[in-house]
């Protein structure tokens, strides 16, 4: 990573190192620090070109937002195995000189990298710390752009990288005259940013830029406001925020924690306390997660991780217990993400001041869908009959939003999630949906979802129902309304199975009435009610329907009825509606409604009963095959006969007649004085009687994906049937070519009729 040391700090570190009498090399000799030449180089920023800030509104995209790719540099600073993993996540943009590209390509191929997801960007570079010198990607209104800054290292090739990628993407680049580095910057995508005070020190020392100007420029070029600038709790030469902290979500931040015995313990706690008492962009204090580090020289670079789409790559240290705890903290904080520990035994390894995050940089998805719900509901909310959820949806792809896919998902008191469709408010990109149906003191979870026509989708929070927004409704005792809830009619009459009847509920009170449940006690009726609970406004009326749905149909009417009650439970009490149901309509004729033949010699025995409590006798008039003649049917007794309630049992014996054509389904009708009941009969096509073709007669190809041909000197005619016996094609001739490309996939029966009248049936498979 790019390291900044003053001569004084360098000498101090050397003295401490020598005093400790460890075997570490002097700091100025360590390759990843500034070289002695670089420490004396005063050329930083000499080629920097300052520009006016963006004229549109800038938005600095967060690391946990959708990424189209990740930037690395070759020669590598990360394991080749990690490059392979990254290439299966997104596009890998590899900075490499033209002379080294073939070597990089060979290295990647040997490591199993998905080369279709690798793009080489030819450019000279001085180091692999692409996090520090890589471009800062923003959206200016709806368009991608890059913000360049003065790199705080005298490495001209690295410092030119923003221009390289602005040219590569053909997007604007804005020059922000601040000395800065990517490792000391993290942002939440909603305008909040975090750095430690190195940014103030370097700009004051090197360019005379004061704190107020630093904050103003961060706002003008990047849209960062507020800008949280803290102490450096690590107290090391690097002074980069990613060595001790990390944004995991707009309201979640990860801070390292040392043992209390460590001299730096109090500084880490000071920073953690700052964020625990500081509001995030959504209006409440940050959720601060702590990752334990042993301190000292033990390797534990856990905050220096890379978030890439739905995966977090966490650099692994040398203590397995701390490693496992760190991965568990990430999993707890980021449910639904894949957490991957990454070791690095090559490429100079990880260090507590230089690890995975330092050596990679995400490239935002230029076409992402941004769900920007700023007025997040949290804590206790003042009572309202419905509560609005307002969000902006910005499709950076330029595609239209899917209007039916802009939704609020919400759960009340731990119940199943419901959806509320969001509609335009009239303000640009803004939509609103309403959460309803809660009570006083209800606990409500919710999240916002959107999709656009380009296929992009996003939720806020990104964890959706695994970690949604949450609020509580204040206690509420609604006043009893004056007036009456009127239901008409108060009695529904049902004559036959299948009858539909409805009643109307009208709110003639002076307040909203909530309808909580509508039930029927007998189990004879199926309700067609509004989604409950339902808030019935003053003067509003709704219709509630019921379907008489007993097991089977009946044709006879009677004046003999069963009474059942329909209960309407509301916030003003329970209302009752009487349902009068014809006993004669409640026929329960028990029979086998399907038969399957898989053997041509099979005989199926079937029985049927009268189980109708209110119908003492059912007369069976006839039993016969419907429309076809493929079955032998014998009955005992022979129709007509009577079936008494819960007493008589009748039998039917069904077998197959000899047949050759491809019918595989027929039916049997049982006619009674209460209606006709049908038995579906399925016959396995494998038991058809099939003759062999003459040697010279051919059917090919079989299976087929399109055209097939029947060819033979004795062929006169070809008929093709589907599996329900319908003829789908017919043709004559000795050579018949048939196009089946538009047919449904499956098995067909091809009847080949020869000139002597013989019929040969063959199966044809259409794929």
Q: Which residues are catalytic?
A: 358
Q: How far apart are CA 700 and CA 719, in angstroms?
A: 15
User: How distant is the alpha carbon of residue 331 from its chain centre?
Assistant: 18
CA distance linking residue 467 with residue 460, whole number of Å: 10
What is the C-alpha separation between 560 and 272, in angstroms, rounded? 77
Query: Is residue 718 within 8 Å of residue 697, measured between CB atoms?
Result: no
Instruction: Tell me if 597 sits within 8 A of 687, measured CB to CB.
Output: yes
Which residues is 370 bridged to in the sheet? 394
Convert 67-85 to b/e letters by CB count within 10 Å (16 or more is b): bebbbbbbebbbbeebbeb
**Residue 244, φ and ψ in degrees, nearest 5:** -140, -10
Could you tell me whether strands 118-122 and 91-96 are parallel, antiparallel, or unpaired per DSSP bridges? Answer: parallel
According to DSSP H, which parts of 512-665 are helical?
none
Nearest to 246 by CA among 311, 308, 316, 186: 186
What's the 3-state SS for 387-441? EEEEEEEEECCCCCECHHHCEEEEEECCCCCEEEECEECCCCCEEEEEEECCCCC
Structure tokens at 666: 């027929």
Q: Cβ atoms within 10 A of the Cβ of 341, count? A: 17
DSSP, res 359: G
The set of long-range contacts for 258-263, using a CB threshold of 8 Å and a minimum separation of 24, is 258/293, 258/294, 258/295, 259/294, 259/295, 262/295, 262/296
- The DSSP call for residue 115 is G
Which among 192, 367, 176 is positioned nearest to 281, based on CA atoms? 192
Please state, as a whole number, how many other Cβ atoms lie within 10 Å of the Cβ of residue 146: 22
Interatomic CA distance for residues 392 and 371, integer angstroms: 6
Other CB atoms within a 10 A radius of the CB of residue 614 amount to 17
Nearest by Cα to 241 from 332, 358, 154: 358
For 479, which DSSP code?
P
Contact predicate 671/697, CB 8 Å:
no
């Amino acid at each position: 990573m790019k390291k900044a040391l003053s001569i004084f700090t360098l000498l101090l570190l050397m003295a401490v190192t020598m005093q400790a009498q460890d075997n570490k090399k002097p700091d100025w000799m360590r390759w990843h620090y500034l070289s002695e030449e670089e420490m004396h180089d005063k050329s930083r920023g000499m080629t920097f070109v300052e520009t006016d800030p963006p004229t549109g509104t800038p938005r600095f995209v967060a690391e946990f937002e959708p990424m189209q790719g990740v930037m690395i540099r070759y020669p590598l600073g990360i394991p080749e195995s990690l490059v392979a993993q990254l290439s299966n996540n997104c596009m890998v943009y590899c900075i490499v000189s033209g002379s080294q590209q073939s070597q990089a390509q060979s290295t990647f191929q040997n490591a199993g990298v998905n080369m279709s997801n690798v793009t080489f960007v030819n450019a000279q570079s001085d180091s692999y710390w692409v996090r520090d010198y890589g471009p800062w990607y923003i959206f200016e209104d709806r368009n991608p752009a890059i913000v360049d800054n003065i790199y705080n290292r005298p490495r001209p090739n690295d410092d030119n990288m923003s221009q390289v990628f602005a040219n590569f993407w053909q997007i604007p680049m804005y020059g922000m005259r601040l000395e800065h580095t990517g490792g000391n910057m993290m942002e939440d995508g909603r305008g909040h940013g975090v750095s430690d005070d190195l940014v103030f020190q370097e700009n004051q020392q090197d360019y005379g830029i004061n704190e107020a100007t630093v904050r103003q420029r961060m706002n003008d070029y990047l849209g960062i406001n507020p800008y949280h600038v803290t102490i450096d709790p690590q107290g090391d030469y690097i002074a980069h925020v990613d060595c001790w902290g990390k944004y995991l979500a707009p309201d979640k931040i990860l801070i390292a924690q040392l043992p209390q015995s460590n001299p730096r313990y109090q500084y880490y706690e000071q920073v953690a306390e700052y964020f625990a008492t500081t509001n995030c962009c959504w209006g409440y204090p940050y959720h601060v997660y702590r990752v334990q580090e042993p301190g000292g020289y033990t390797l534990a670079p856990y905050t220096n991780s890379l978030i890439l789409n739905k995966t977090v790559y966490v650099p692994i240290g040398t203590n397995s217990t701390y490693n496992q705890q760190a991965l568990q903290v990430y999993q707890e904080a980021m449910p639904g993400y894949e957490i991957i520990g990454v070791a690095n035994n090559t490429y100079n390894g990880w260090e507590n001041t230089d690890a995975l995050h330092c050596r990679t940089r995400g490239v935002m998805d230029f076409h992402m869908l941004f769900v920007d719900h700023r007025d997040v509901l949290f804590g206790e909310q003042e009572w309202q009959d419905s509560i609005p959820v307002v969000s902006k949806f910005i499709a950076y792809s330029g595609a239209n939003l899917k209007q039916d896919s802009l939704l609020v998902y919400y759960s009340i008191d731990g119940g199943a999630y419901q959806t509320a469709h969001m509609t335009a408010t009239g303000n640009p990109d803004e939509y609103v949906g309403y959460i309803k149906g809660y009570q006083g003191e209800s606990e409500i979870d919710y999240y916002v979802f959107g999709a656009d026509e380009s296929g992009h989708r996003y939720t806020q929070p990104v964890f959706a129902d695994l970690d949604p927004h949450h609020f509580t409704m204040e206690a509420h005792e609604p006043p009893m309304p004056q007036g009456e809830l009127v239901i008409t009619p108060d009695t529904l009459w049902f004559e036959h199975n299948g009858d539909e009847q409805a009643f109307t509920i009208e709110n003639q009170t002076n307040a909203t009435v909530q309808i909580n449940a509508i039930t029927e006690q007998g189990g004879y009726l199926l309700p067609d009610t509004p989604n409950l609970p339902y808030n019935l406004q003053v003067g509003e009326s709704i219709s509630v329907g019921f379907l008489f749905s007993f097991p089977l149909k009946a044709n006879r009417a009677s004046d003999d009825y069963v009474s059942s009650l329909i209960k309407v439970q509301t916030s003003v009490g329970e209302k009752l509606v009487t349902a009068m149901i014809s006993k004669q309509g409640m026929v329960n004729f028990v029979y086998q409604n399907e038969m399957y033949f898989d053997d041509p010699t099979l005989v199926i025995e079937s029985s049927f009963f009268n189980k109708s409590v209110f119908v003492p006798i059912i007369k069976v008039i006839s039993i016969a095959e419907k429309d076809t003649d493929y079955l032998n049917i014998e009955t005992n007794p022979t129709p007509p006969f009577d079936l008494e309630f819960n007493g008589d049992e009748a039998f039917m014996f069904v077998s197959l007649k000899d047949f050759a054509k491809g019918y595989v389904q027929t039916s049997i009708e049982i006619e009674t004085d209460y209606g006709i009941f049908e038995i579906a009969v399925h016959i396995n096509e494998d038991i058809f009687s099939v003759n062999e073709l003459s040697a010279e007669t051919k059917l090919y190809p079989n299976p087929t994906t399109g055209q097939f041909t029947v060819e033979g000197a004795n062929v006169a005619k070809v008929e093709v049937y589907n599996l329900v016996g319908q003829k789908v094609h017919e043709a004559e001739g000795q050579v018949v070519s048939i196009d089946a490309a538009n047919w449904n996939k499956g098995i067909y029966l091809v009847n080949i009729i020869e000139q002597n009248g013989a019929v040969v049936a063959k199966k044809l498979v259409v794929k």
